[in-house]
A and B are shown apart, each in its own frame.
Chain A
Amino acid sequence: MTDPILKIEGVSKRFTRKPGLVVRGLDRLSGRDSTQTVHAVNDVNLSVPRGEVLGIVGESGCGKSTLGRVVSGIYAPSEGTVTLEGQPVARDHRGNVDKLTTRVQMIHQDPFASLNPRMKVGEIIAEGPRIHGLIPAREVQERVRSLLEQVGLEGAYANRLPHQFSGGQRQRVAIARALAMQPELLVLDEAVASLDVSIQAQVLNLFMKLRRELDLTALFISHDLSVVRHVCDRVAIMYLGRVVETAPADELYAKPLHPYTEALFASVPTLGTGRAHFHPIKGEIPSPINPPKGCAFHPRCPLAGPRCKTEVPRLVNPKDNRSVACHLHDGGTGAETGAAA
């Protein structure tokens, strides 16, 4: 097998909030520490071979967007490394974006916010390659034109402003802008979530076409399980900052191993299942500031045992191409019934 193009090794990202002056003073007197820390991403290991589209799925607060931003070099990881073709994706000590990070391009959720309303579409697309000297100035127009055509827009649109486009067309412009940098890796963060169903289908088709033509490698971050199934080769499920399961898409949807994945699938309404068959997951998503001890899912898990409350489950490999972080698949939960898988 080829070496993975993207390697995420032991990556954690924490955000801390320092308390105000008064509380800090009180802390010093009493010897406490009121600093609040959010463990947005916690010890994530993933690798993506060239040409693969890896889906990152989870609910709000699971850290999927933070992970995407760490991979794009927007955030520096608190721990661990992200490497693209063996070289780290990171900022240097001055906080400058390394030239390498231009090799990762991100496509954001909201095309109304991600395009500068005062720049012509042609300028938006050409800005990156121009600054980084990727194409000679006299070829810029031709390149913009061919990129626009590649994403299904007319070359003449280069002189228009973003407000002259619909949401779906703007997302095409955002895709063209990302492709202009000839990236090794695309990070799509909920890229179709804000589009209407009929427009979403058009953009997904465009993504799949480009993928075939350009042999793209991508992280596809989404909360939408049916979209992910349609476009991804492999899927990683996240819960409260950790990857709890990874598997090839077809195997995952055929048989999820982690109780959270299973519960997630059960609570998604699908077309044509008939009415009133919901098996919603009980309880709320816990706060990442104060996550439950042991397995973060144990307060909502129907199969949790005593071991789940104390010990964080390791990511184990029940099969070569799958991994799951659950005691059920790693020696049992310690419940008396001993329901090992």
Chain B
Amino acid sequence: MSAALEVRGLTTQFSTRKGAVTAVNDVSFSVQPGRILGLVGESGSGKSVTGFSIMGLIHAPGRITAGEVLVQGTDMRSLSAEGRRQMRGRNISMVFQDPMMTLNPVLRVGDQMAMAVRVHDKVSKAAAWERAREALEIVGIPAPAERLQAYPHQLSGGMRQRVAIATALLHRPAVILADEPTTALDVSIQGQILAEVRRLADETGTAIVWVTHDLAVVSSLADDIAVMYAGRIVESGTAEEVIAHPRHPYTRGLIDSVPGLHEPGRDLPQIPGSTPQLANLPSGCPFRPRCPRATDICATLPPNTGTEAHSVLCHHPIEAT
């Protein structure tokens, strides 16, 4: 089976006064149809820029300097701007964190969704509205025909995010990128959306990349996990494997610092220090200054010391069990 999305050696740099900053550094992964990849990292890890780079939404002073982004086998980077525009929405689409930024506040939901339909398909307005209605139904919006008449401000936050997801679904793309789509929502609403997204991947075979900082969300939603730190994927594998047996000291520290797995009141195991500034990363492994296992060899960039199925960029990975 060929991957719905395959990313190879993706590198994105931003030029700043202090020189080029590499926000995404040699990132590679692939997502098969119907699977959900959780791209996890803290602020500044490059997870969002990875998403934007895949969509080709990087603007100056940013630049994708290397790599391939294959959507159903077509390299997005080899296309013209018009060619990429043809792919976006039809083959690959994106859901952003804040639905109010995605939706046009002065257009009815139905009008803007119909517009998105007619960008790629020359159908009548009525047919486009009907497709919009079907998409709202798929994401579990009650009384979809009435919702099409509403303006975004008349909907709740959860409802708006469903509209954004429905809009991403209009052309049944092979890949959906979702950038922290439930972070701003309440837990009960987040639960509803996660359940719908899981069902969507299972039933329609859409491949989904779920970008988030929330390990708990990823562990209950995703099939696979890629953990990012300072622009690199430092560990990846199936969700069960990575959560149950993390091998990179950073992943391990991240999982350990989640409260809820520990006896209440006890000190949480913490990763010392703070997330690094991309402008002055240490040489070699970027996690080195915070790592309890670091030695001299860590001043050189670590290779993948894990397996192909469970990769780990670390000189001293935690033993596989």
* Most chain B CB atoms below 10 A, which of A199, A201, A249: A201
* Most chain B CB atoms below 10 A, which of A204, A276, A285: A276
B36 → A minimal CB distance (Å): 8
**With A and B bound together, what is the CA distance between A102 and B194 in angstroms?**
43
Contacts A230-B264, A249-B264; A280 near B259 (Cβ below 8 A):
no
A101 → B minimal CB distance (Å): 29
A210 → B minimal CB distance (Å): 12
A125 → B minimal CB distance (Å): 21
A301 within 8 A of B: no
Count A-side interface residues using an 8 Å CB cutoff.
Answer: 47
- A residues adjacent to B (C-beta < 8 A): 59-60, 166, 168-169, 196-202, 204-205, 208-209, 223, 225-227, 229-232, 249-250, 263-264, 266-282, 284-285
Nearest-CB residue, chain B, relative to A62: B186
**With A and B bound together, what is the CA distance between A198 and B220 in angstroms?**
20
**With A and B bound together, what is the CA distance between A181 and B317 in angstroms?**
47
A232 → B minimal CB distance (Å): 8
Cβ-defined partner of A267 (8 Å) among B191, B221, B264, B268: B191
- B residues adjacent to A (C-beta < 8 A): 42-43, 156-159, 186-192, 194-195, 198, 213-217, 219-223, 239-240, 243-244, 253-255, 257-262, 264-265, 267-271, 274-275
Q: Could you give 12 example pairs across A and B, Cβ below 8 Å?
A: A196-B42, A196-B275, A198-B275, A201-B259, A201-B268, A205-B267, A208-B267, A230-B264, A270-B260, A271-B261, A278-B195, A282-B192
| Residues of the A chain whose Cβ atoms lie less than 8 Å from the Cβ of B188 | 59, 263-264, 267, 280-281, 285
Cβ-defined partner of A204 (8 Å) among B190, B240, B255, B259: B259
Nearest-CB residue, chain B, relative to A165: B274
**With A and B bound together, what is the CA distance between A266 and B195 in angstroms?**
12
The reply to whether B186 and A285 contact each other, CB–CB distance below 8 Å, is yes
Cβ-defined partner of B216 (8 Å) among A166, A199, A271: A271
Contacts A280-B188, A280-B191; A271 near B219 (Cβ below 8 A):
yes
B75 → A minimal CB distance (Å): 31
The reply to whether B186 and A229 contact each other, CB–CB distance below 8 Å, is no
Nearest-CB residue, chain A, relative to B270: A201
Nearest-CB residue, chain B, relative to A192: B259
The reply to whether B220 and A270 contact each other, CB–CB distance below 8 Å, is yes
B194 → A minimal CB distance (Å): 6
The reply to whether A275 and B191 contact each other, CB–CB distance below 8 Å, is no
| Residues of the B chain whose Cβ atoms lie less than 8 Å from the Cβ of A271 | 215-216, 219, 243, 255, 258, 260-261
**With A and B bound together, what is the CA distance between A278 and B191 in angstroms?**
6
Nearest-CB residue, chain B, relative to A267: B191
The reply to whether B220 and A276 contact each other, CB–CB distance below 8 Å, is yes
Contacts A201-B257, A201-B269; A59 near B274 (Cβ below 8 A):
no
A230 → B minimal CB distance (Å): 4
**With A and B bound together, what is the CA distance between A59 and B262 in angstroms?**
24
The reply to whether B216 and A269 contact each other, CB–CB distance below 8 Å, is yes
Nearest-CB residue, chain A, relative to B240: A274
**With A and B bound together, what is the CA distance between A7 and B264 in angstroms?**
25
B128 → A minimal CB distance (Å): 27
The reply to whether A59 and B186 contact each other, CB–CB distance below 8 Å, is yes
The reply to whether A267 and B187 contact each other, CB–CB distance below 8 Å, is yes
The reply to whether B271 and A198 contact each other, CB–CB distance below 8 Å, is yes
**With A and B bound together, what is the CA distance between A62 and B48 in angstroms?**
31
What are the 6 tightest A-B residue pairs by CB atom distance, in nearest-first order?
A: A226-B260, A267-B191, A280-B191, A201-B257, A230-B259, A59-B186
| Residues of the B chain whose Cβ atoms lie less than 8 Å from the Cβ of A273 | 219-220
The reply to whether A278 and B274 contact each other, CB–CB distance below 8 Å, is no
Cβ-defined partner of B187 (8 Å) among A166, A232, A264, A284: A264
Nearest-CB residue, chain A, relative to B220: A269
**With A and B bound together, what is the CA distance between A211 and B158 in angstroms?**
37
| Residues of the A chain whose Cβ atoms lie less than 8 Å from the Cβ of B198 | 275-276, 278
| Residues of the A chain whose Cβ atoms lie less than 8 Å from the Cβ of B270 | 198, 201-202, 205
Cβ-defined partner of A269 (8 Å) among B156, B221, B262: B221
B68 → A minimal CB distance (Å): 29
Nearest-CB residue, chain A, relative to B43: A196
